[in-house]
Amino acid sequence: MSLRLGDTAPDFEQDSSIGKIRFYDWAGDSWVVLFSHPADFTPVCTTELGLTAKLKPEFDKRNVKAIALSVDPAESHKLWTRDIEETQQCVVGFPIIADQDQKVAKLYDMIHPEQSQTATVRTLFVIDPRKKVRLMIAYPMSTGRNFDEVLRVIDALQLTDSHNVATPGNWKQGGDVIIPLSVKDEEEIKRKYPKGYTAPRPYLRMTPQPNK
């Protein structure tokens, strides 16, 4: 199965480091960061899970839950969690899916045969509370993810969901945003963007972030 942006994220039931999980029930009304790993007890993955654990306060602010996955069994995940906590000085407060039968990996197309026939590549999904896929990033096995970018994109998605704006390249919280081309009426612009705007070109209208 090949997922695309806007698709409904597949539900599943699978074992994990905290016991059996039904994905939709576990996710509830939260945003979700679902990210896969080639295997337990691997160095890049250990640093990534440590970073994710340390980001819990930032995820909580954004109503985000994290959940990891690899094709190793739950007992292996529990043992690995101890290593992560000791070496990365953190508390792993999120589950790791034990996808031994590759059921979830196949649902989410996490196995790329040219990389490995059995191990999941570093795929990351951001899924919104309606269970829609909003972001997909695939990294090669040797390259760790940039979790600052994950937070940045979640901020952008949540902002553009709540306000009729788009975000420019390298946008961060507090930066100017773009008035979409679909908004044409000047009175509507004044009403929706009371902070005003600048327009170096008619199609490029920048306005201060509306919720700051």
Name the active-site residue from 45, 74, 104, 111: 45
90 is catalytic: no
The C-alpha atoms of residue 91 and residue 208 are separated, in whole angstroms, by 38
Provide the β-strand partners of residue 204.
201
Nearest one of 26, 65, 27 to 154, comparing CA atoms: 65
Do 18 and 98 touch, CB atoms closer than 8 A? no
Do 90 and 63 touch, CB atoms closer than 8 A? no
Residue 167: CB partners within 8 Å, gap ≥ 6?
156, 159, 160, 175, 177, 178
The C-alpha atoms of residue 117 and residue 72 are separated, in whole angstroms, by 15
Q: What are the catalytic residues?
A: 45
